[in-house]
Amino acid sequence: MRRTHLFRNFRQCFVYRRKSSLRLWEQDINTEIKLNIEKQWSNVVRRSAPNNGMKPYYVLPMFPYPSGNLHMGHVRVYSISDTIARFEQLNGRYSIHPIGWDAFGLPAENAAIERNIPPSQWTKSNINSMKNQLEKLGFNFDWKREISTCDPGYYKWTQFIFLKLFEKGLAYQSKAQVNWDPVDMTVLADEQVDDLGCSWRSGVKVEKKYLTQWFIKTTKFAKALYDGLDSDELENWKDIINLQKHWIGECDGVVVTFKLEVNGEMKTFDVWTSEPYKFIHGDFLIINSSHPLIQDLKSHGRSTLVCLNPVSNCELPVYVVDDFNYPEGRNVYIGCSQIDSEDKKAAQLLNIPVSRQQLKIDIERENSQAVEMALKKNVGGHFVSSKLKDWLISRQRYWGTPIPIIHCKTCGTVPVPYEDLPVELPEIQSSAGIQTLEKLEHWKKCICPKCQSSATRETDTMDTFVDSSWYYYRFLDPNNKLMPFSKEQVVDHMPVDIYVGGKEHAVLHLYYARFMSYFLHSLGWTPTKEPFKKLVVQGMVMGQSYKLKSSGKYIPPDRVEKVGKEYIEKNTGEAVITQWEKMSKSKYNGENPERLLATYGCDTTRLLILADVPPATPRRWSDATLPGVLNWQHRLWMTMREFLNHRNNVPEVNTLTPEEYNKHEYKIWDSRNYLIATTTYHFKHTQKLSVGISRLQSLTSVLRNKVPPEVITKSKEYEKALAVLIIMLAPVTPHFCSELWAGLQSAPHRLTESSNMIDWGKGVLEQTWPKVDGADRCELKLKSSDLLSLTHEKAVQMMLNQESVKKRLTTEIHKTKFELISTMIIDDFGKGVASGLHMIS
């Protein structure tokens, strides 16, 4: 027995004590020491915590596109997510912090063509170099969950989900007018065409073409997606709610799919109206000549058109009219001359023969009746705005997920059987010229799974937004060989607790991801509809650019000189314009993360990008942030050095009176509690990490500002406050804090025992996030004029109405006690009185 006991103790010591401080405290902190510290602690910092049955917390940063180089936007997004993941871990949660690659898409294909190598090779080498860079930044990603959308093991399941959509009638083919980029040879979404009608990527004038394309019927979920934005499940979405609502539009109308015979073939088309009763009583339909069906008809000569209204089962005459005020985004209109007087006028104006009779109906009743009929007959009936369109997912390029469909002359459009997935992209040896699946005859030819005759494969690939619309589910079950993911694996982890990414993805990506999540939920595969609980939309990292006033040509910063308030070119003296813009090589205003890592180390780089500006605010990147951050790290280093020196030479004689000593202790105790409360609040609730960091800077100042050696060596409060400061900074600078902590652990004459607050046997990353102990005070400032009428009750009420107090009362506070403190204060408001709210945990 006894031997086992000893052995257990020994093991414990071995595990926790194997890393110790480098003991370089007598030297001044510099980059070399920082890099040594990072080397010393890198294994500890990158070790993901085991899942000990703790409640999971899912922190999801948007996965990167593997362009080959990390940019400052990446450094920002992953510094934010890593800090939040580490914070939650200290709070006793099991953090899921995955990473993968949004690896398909045009840029890789174009880059590969330029270099004459296959896109897969280019993408793989980019992933390797970016992975290496991410590791250098000390991010604690769960690499076991790594996925890549171009891996057949992933896109097999994208195809699987496509087939489910097809099965449910939510993936369909239709002829549509599309934006065609003649250089990139592919379709562009409306958002990828600028105001001048040019492609966002190639810059050439976009052409309009009519092509048969694959669509996903996102509009079917439009109303649910719109209404879902008001759900309590979403936290902190702020202005993204309005961006999303604006994109979807108010769902004040209904769509029904009509049929029309075109050149002897039955074609379908959608009709939208805000007055569904017209699907019962409508007597004419007008259509713009730009409608693809009419375009098709033109080349074959046009006769009198009649369509079939599937709700009323009646035939309706169709008139081609260009000069008509169609609903926004639509080019078809259904009219009802017998009920709607405006429609009657329109019919007369357009010489459309209609009945003279007028009908009186209960419009509301017939509206709901029409919707019911459409739903029952499965011909539409879902609410949607007039402007929202279905999602066009066809891309005529090689580097994407192949659409798993086979075209057979006899059977028509046949889905690839599930057991034949994945439909793999054919290997290509080089990318000479533009390769499309259309041109790869060998690959195209196949056997129809239904009738076994020869058939051809669909040669369009999917928009990469399809790949990224469900990746957050795959992260939770990355090795599943039977399904995209199992419900058991996602049920405890969804929705994602916090999603961090750039604002450029706040409209389309978020909309498609929400649609997909709603769809997967409708299959019964997931616990919730909404995929993301909380959003942190990070602002852009911008660099200062310079261009010649005369020509508008960008020039590098080293050719620019500041004279007074103006900027000139050094050599010529020519006037230079400066502005803050998105970083880019062509504007010479980028910052290279590799340079920052080499010059300052990874912790300082993380601190630089997180300090001063909250995540949501655009970041103007300049060297101006540097001195503050470097100086703070220096001060923390000095604090530890001095602490260790004092602890090694404890003064024997006391020079402070007990009152003086208590006053110092009280101030440290009070600051610690106040700064724990506010830092926790910002890390946990607002994600304003910069505000939390500035509180930690304040705590550093409290510990350095005229604290007598007697307090440093003999006060438990000082020891606790220093420990708490290092713990709270650890999620931001994990290596640096591990070293500071090891220093603190090594200090002689320790005053506090291991407790709930501090476990001296463990490293800083294994500590518990500090809680407020005792009371936490909150001050209320009043105008002196209000002072006379102030009662205790009224003061308490006023305090409770303060936003900051309200929020804090929802955190882990067990008891509250109020007291009116009769201190007169003078500030910007004039004379006032301070009132205190004590919160006891």
Give the footprint of Zn ion on this chain (CB under 5 A): 408, 410-411, 448, 450-451
Nearest approach in angstroms of CB 314 to Zn ion is: 35
Nearest approach in angstroms of CB 447 to Zn ion is: 9
Nearest approach in angstroms of CB 418 to Zn ion is: 18
**Tokens in use for 544?**
């200062």
Residue 414 or 798: the one with the smaller Cβ distance to Zn ion is: 414
Residue 408 or 668: the one with the smaller Cβ distance to Zn ion is: 408
Residue 242 or 410: the one with the smaller Cβ distance to Zn ion is: 410
Residue 379 or 455: the one with the smaller Cβ distance to Zn ion is: 455
Q: Which of 452, 444, 463 is CA-nearest to residue 405?
A: 444
Q: CA 208 to CA 178: how far, in whole Å?
A: 6
Nearest approach in angstroms of CB 413 to Zn ion is: 10
Cα dihedral 322, 324, 325, 328 sign: negative
Which helix (DSSP H) or strand (DSSP E) does residue 572 occupy? none
**Which residues are within 8 A (CB) of 729 and not within 5 positions of it... i.e. 6 or more apart?**
636, 693, 696, 736, 737
Nearest approach in angstroms of CB 420 to Zn ion is: 15
Nearest approach in angstroms of CB 263 to Zn ion is: 23
Nearest approach in angstroms of CB 456 to Zn ion is: 11
Residue 410 or 413: the one with the smaller Cβ distance to Zn ion is: 410
DSSP strand pairing (554-555 vs 461-462): unpaired
DSSP strand pairing (560-563 vs 405-408): unpaired
Q: CA 419 to CA 414: how far, in whole Å?
A: 14
Residue type (1 letter), 127: I
Residue type (1 letter), 687: Q
Residue 410 or 785: the one with the smaller Cβ distance to Zn ion is: 410
Which helix (DSSP H) or strand (DSSP E) does residue 435 occupy? none
Q: Name residue, tokens 């620019």.
A: 560
Cα dihedral 107, 111, 113, 117 sign: negative
| Burial class (CB within 10 angstroms; exposed 0-12, middle 13-18, buried 19+) of 342 | exposed
Nearest approach in angstroms of CB 424 to Zn ion is: 22
Nearest approach in angstroms of CB 591 to Zn ion is: 57
Q: What are phi and psi of 609, to 5 degrees?
A: -80, -25
Q: Which of 489, 499, 438, 497 is CA-nearest to residue 468?
A: 499
Residue 440 or 446: the one with the smaller Cβ distance to Zn ion is: 446
Say how far residue 3 (Cα) sits from the centre of its chain. 53
Nearest approach in angstroms of CB 155 to Zn ion is: 25
Residue 224 or 411: the one with the smaller Cβ distance to Zn ion is: 411
Nearest approach in angstroms of CB 458 to Zn ion is: 14
Q: CA 641 to CA 504: how far, in whole Å?
A: 45
Q: DSSP characters for 56-70?
A: EEEEEEPPPP--SS-
Instruction: Give 3-state DSSP helix, strand, coil % of the chain, rounded to 5.
Output: 40, 20, 35
Nearest approach in angstroms of CB 156 to Zn ion is: 23
Q: How many residues does the chain have?
A: 841
DSSP 633: H
Residue 410 or 631: the one with the smaller Cβ distance to Zn ion is: 410
**Tokens in use for 154?**
């992933």
**Cβ proximity of 206 and 199 under 8 Å:** yes
Nearest approach in angstroms of CB 444 to Zn ion is: 15
Nearest approach in angstroms of CB 419 to Zn ion is: 17
State whether residue 260 is helix, strand or coil.
Answer: strand
**Tokens in use for 130?**
């970016």
DSSP 425: P
Residue 451 or 824: the one with the smaller Cβ distance to Zn ion is: 451
DSSP 541: E
Residue 339 or 448: the one with the smaller Cβ distance to Zn ion is: 448
Q: CA 189 to CA 645: how far, in whole Å?
A: 65
Q: DSSP characters for 579-600?
A: EEEE--GGGT----HHHHHHHH
Residue 411 or 434: the one with the smaller Cβ distance to Zn ion is: 411
Q: DSSP characters for 309-331?
A: ETTTTEEEEEEE-SSS-PPTT--
Nearest approach in angstroms of CB 168 to Zn ion is: 22
Residue 451 or 523: the one with the smaller Cβ distance to Zn ion is: 451
Q: What are phi and psi of 639, to 5 degrees?
A: -60, -45
Cis peptide before 422 (omega within 30 of 0): yes
**Tokens in use for 75?**
């450094």
Residue 37 or 408: the one with the smaller Cβ distance to Zn ion is: 408
Q: Where are the alpha helices (DSSP H) in 360-507?
A: 363-376, 441-444, 464-467, 471-474, 487-490
Nearest approach in angstroms of CB 455 to Zn ion is: 6
Nearest approach in angstroms of CB 414 to Zn ion is: 6
**Cβ proximity of 735 and 777 under 8 Å:** no
**Cβ proximity of 279 and 374 under 8 Å:** yes
Q: CA 343 to CA 282: how far, in whole Å?
A: 10
**Tokens in use for 211?**
């092509």
Residue 408 or 636: the one with the smaller Cβ distance to Zn ion is: 408
